[in-house]
Amino acid sequence: MIVPVHNGTAYLEECIDSILAQDCEALEVLIINDGSTDDTAAVCERLCGQHSCLRVITMPDLGVSAARNRGLEQAKGAYIMFVDADDRLRPGVLKSLHRLLCRTGSDMAGCSFAAWGTAGEWERLRTEGEMPEELTGADTGKKYDSESYLRENILRGNTRCWSKLYRRDLIGQVRFREGLTIGEDMLFLVELLPRMKQAVETAYPGYAYYQNPGGAMQRPFTPAYMDQVYCWEMARELIVEREPYLAARADAQIMVAVMLTAGKIARLSGKDRRRAKAYLQVCQRKLKGIANKKACAPYLPAGYKIKVRLFACLPGLYVWLYHCSKERRRGKE
């Protein structure tokens, strides 16, 4: 179990408690303290003194990808799972994913997730019970080869590296691209595909995802937000090399990433939007650089066709309209 953490004093202990509550023999938990400046180190030291299965690795603040990579280098087990320090595992999910992995002979077993934001919501998830036994039988869970996993999961939004149990042999020497903060887990999954013979997924939400108001996806625009565009561009090269017929679907993901980034910029104040103008221009160039937009249209979410056309032709107008609509909505709340 690899748990990267940066300034996680407020939530790390509860995350570790949910891991230690799993019914699992020979559990190894690596906490990667990624340059924390709060009391995270003290929390780690106390937890390690209480539980022999915990190890703490301290490193400079190099980001979540570098932290996960350090964990991969240090992990000794035959199975790997990533848990973000503000998230939690529902009871029994680790045992159930391991059972699912073994019964299907898969390289990776994944589950869905349930979002939570309050102590009451987490308590409800914690006490609702374990993954039903019938979801982990040999003929349950949906199985995929690498091509169908790409098509039916990664290109349909299942791009998270967490909520999955991996055989260590599947990962091998594949590592997260360091320096990236959004989209790096999707790129990691794409790079695993050449080594993957079979994966299995269940819809049971065994991973409890914390809707952290300070998380990367919730913060105002920063240049690092462009990473999601760059990651999809890198992924597209790998995807088209393996499965050329999926080019339009990969391009559609780039278009969505561009529009999400433009939307983040649009929510800034007028002064900050002017400062971010260069990034907006990059987004427009990326969009215009996609040759066959018509082929991508069937793979865009509802409403995106109009958004893409308007932004490509009149980015300033699109950003202004988007900003005004968000401000009006905020005023009604």
For 265-317, the pLDDT digits (tens) are: 999 988 999 999 999 999 999 998 998 888 999 999 988 999 999 999 898 89
**What is the structure's pLDDT at 138?**
47
**What is the structure's pLDDT at 214?**
61
Local structure of 82: helix, strand or coil: strand
The percent helix, strand, coil of the chain (3-state, each to 5) is 55, 15, 30
- pLDDT of 165-201, one tens digit each? 999 999 999 999 999 989 999 999 999 999 999 999 9
Q: Dump the DSSP string for 193-228.
A: GGG-S-EEEEEEEEEEEE--TTSTTTSPP-GGGGHH
- Is the Cβ–Cβ distance between 290 and 255 less than 8 Å? yes
- Is the Cβ–Cβ distance between 71 and 1 less than 8 Å? no
List C-alpha distances in Å: 301 to 82, 264, 305, 308.
29, 18, 8, 11
**What is the structure's pLDDT at 218?**
61
Reading the block at residue 33, the tokens are 């303290």
Cα–Cα distance for residue pair 32/65, rounded to 1 Å: 11
Poorest-pLDDT segment among 48-62, 125-139, 212-226, 243-257: 125-139
The model's pTM is: 0.91
